[in-house]
Amino acid sequence: MLSKEIGVDLGTANVLVHVRGQGIVLNEPSVVAIDQVTKQVVAVGEEARQMLGRTPGNIVAIRPLREGVIADFDVTEIMLRHFLRKTIGKSSMLRPRLMICVPAGITSVEQKAVREAAEACGVKQVDLIEEPKAAAIGAGLNIFEPSGSLVVDIGGGTTDIAVLSLGDVVTSSSLRVAGDKFDEAIVKFIRREYNLMIGERTAEELKKELATVYPGHDDKSREVRGRDMMTGLPKTIEVKAGQMREALADTVAAIISATKSVLERTPPELAADIFDKGVMLTGGGALIAGLDKLMVDELQVPVHIAEDPMQCVVIGTGKFLEMRDALRTKALRNGGKVAGRR
């Protein structure tokens, strides 16, 4: 029996798994809950995410990936093993081939950690593909033609910005400013403005439901509950969208500045293609209201949001798995190497 070919978006916020021929079969938060006394795993994925900030003293909910890379090797291995078992079952007969997405700016040490975590799960082969390349393919861009494409992938831990042509990255930048930093900025703003302490999950809900970075819907509001830092008692406040714009201003400015920098380093012919085709936004951060309009104002190029931004990376990985055999044959015929193989 042939081994399965599996694409994994090993994200800071979520892990998505694509099985060749089946599509996306798993989408769960990158969280593991562990009992610190017995050292046993209590929950993984969505069940563990529900425990964030709500666990008793002996149970800790851990996010083993931070800023796009492995922060806790052992817990990452446990999480990956759990998701692979959930995806393909417990059969040891089917040692899968994995292709894992990694940030564009990942170091060789961080690459090795990803490989070793996957190999410890008993997989047959591990290949790595850069996230902006996978995101571009998943967004429907033809990166294999001799024409420039610019993708800005705003994930949970990193924002990857890359110009691609002829199937590879021409110039890129990987910024450790993304969804998690948006959440942190919201927590800090609420604490500074209202002396109110809110949790990570509340900040994420505010980001999804209320956050905007462009003028227009500033009066939209939402109630927020937290702990008053003066009295220590629960308190409810009302937050407006315009305040979220203020809270996120610095983090969004960092992403736009990095995108400008990549454009400035792009060869003139490819830059001309980008001014014609525009920028493709992918990742969960692409869904923040008004980000595309703000980037149009700042970059003076068209900006498009991918059809399914949150799943672009894993969709692209799946597509690359399907086209890899054809690419390998072509590369061998031309005496070259296969894109995506590291």
Question: Same domain, yes or no, for 10 and 113?
Answer: yes
Question: What pLDDT is attached to residue 263?
Answer: 95
As given in the structure block, the two tokens for residue 327 are 């690419």
Q: How confident is the model at residue 327 (pLDDT cuts 50, 70, 90)?
A: low
Mean pLDDT computed over 63-76:
89
Regarding whether 268 and 168 lie in a shared domain, the answer is yes
Distance CA 271, CA 261 (A): 12
Nearest CA to 148 among 133, 173, 172, 170? 170
Are residues 151 and 274 both part of a single domain?
yes
Identify the CATH number of the domain in which residue 291 sits: 3.30.420.40
φ, ψ of residue 251 to 5 degrees: the values are -70, -40
Among 171-185, 189-203, 238-252, 323-337, which stretch is predicted with the lowest mean pLDDT?
A: 323-337
The phi, psi pair for 42, rounded to 5°, reads -90, -40
Task: Please give the angle made by the CA atoms of 258, 264 and 270, to the nearest 5 degrees.
Answer: 115
| Structural domain harbouring 158 | 135-177+254-310
**pLDDT, tens digit, 9 for 90 and up, residues 73-123:** 989 999 998 998 888 776 554 678 889 998 887 889 989 999 999 888 888
Report the pLDDT value the prediction gives residue 228, as an integer from 0 to 100.
96
For residue 201, give the CATH number of its domain.
Answer: 3.90.640.10
Q: Supply the pLDDT for residue 326.
A: 67
- Side by side, which strands form the sheet with 125-130? 23-29, 14-19, 5-10, 97-102, 125-130
pLDDT at 328: 59
Same domain, 60 and 46: yes
228 in a structural domain: yes
pLDDT, tens only, 218-244: 778 999 999 999 999 999 999 999 999
Regarding whether 143 and 127 lie in a shared domain, the answer is no
Contact 175, 161 (CB under 8 A): yes
Q: What is the mean pLDDT of the chain?
A: 89
Two tokens, residue 32: 């593991």
DSSP-derived letter for residue 222 is E
Domain boundary among 225, 247, 269: 247
Distance from C-alpha of 281 to C-alpha of 300, rounded to nearest angstrom: 15
| In a shared domain, residues 199 and 238 | yes
Q: Helix (H, G, I), strand (E, B), or coil: what is residue 117?
A: helix
pLDDT, position 53: 72
Return d(Cα 321, Cα 334) in angstroms, integer: 20
What pLDDT shows up at residue 25? 93
Q: Please give the pLDDT value at position 16.
A: 94
Are 226 and 235 spatial neighbours (Cβ–Cβ below 8 Å)?
A: yes
Residue 160 forms part of a structural domain: yes
State mean pLDDT over 274-278.
94
Contact 187, 196 (CB under 8 A): no
Q: 267-273: which pairs have CB atoms within 8 A and are 24 or more residues apart?
A: 267/148, 267/170, 269/148, 270/147, 270/148, 270/163, 270/165, 270/170, 271/148, 272/148, 273/147, 273/148, 273/149, 273/165
Asked if 82 and 125 sit in the same domain, the reply is: yes
Examine the domain organization and report whether 60 and 120 are in the same domain: yes
What is the pLDDT, as a whole number, of residue 341? 47
Rounded to whole angstroms, how far apart are CA atoms 222 and 243? 11
Q: Which of 130, 128, 121, 131 is nearest to 96 (CA)?
A: 121
CA distance 73 to 113: 7
pLDDT reported for residue 325: 65
Residue 123: its pLDDT value, please? 85
Number of domains in the chain: 3
In this structure, of 212-216, 252-256, 275-279, 302-306, the range with the lowest mean pLDDT score is: 212-216
- Pair (220, 78) in one structural domain: no
Listed residues 214, 247, 280: the one ending a domain:
247
Let me know whether 122 and 14 are in one domain. yes
Q: 281 and 159, same structural domain?
A: yes
Task: Say whether both 79 and 201 belong to one domain.
Answer: no
Higher pLDDT, 236 or 326: 236
Nearest to 79 by CA among 7, 24, 8, 31: 31
Residue 342 lies inside a defined structural domain of this protein: no
Mean pLDDT of 115-134: 90
Asked if the structure places residue 40 within a domain, the reply is: yes
340 inside domain: no
Q: Is 328 helix (H, G, I), strand (E, B) or coil?
A: helix
339 part of a folded domain: no
Higher-confidence residue: 270 or 58? 270
- 341 belongs to a structural domain: no
Contact 282, 152 (CB under 8 A): yes
**Where a domain ends, among 202, 227, 247?**
247
| Closest residue by Cα to residue 189 from 177, 202, 176 | 202
Mean pLDDT (whole number) for 30-41: 89
41, part of any domain = yes
Instruction: Using pLDDT thresholds of 50, 70 and 90, give the confidence band for residue 36.
Output: confident
pTM comes to 0.89
Q: Give 321 or 265, the one with higher predicted confidence.
A: 265
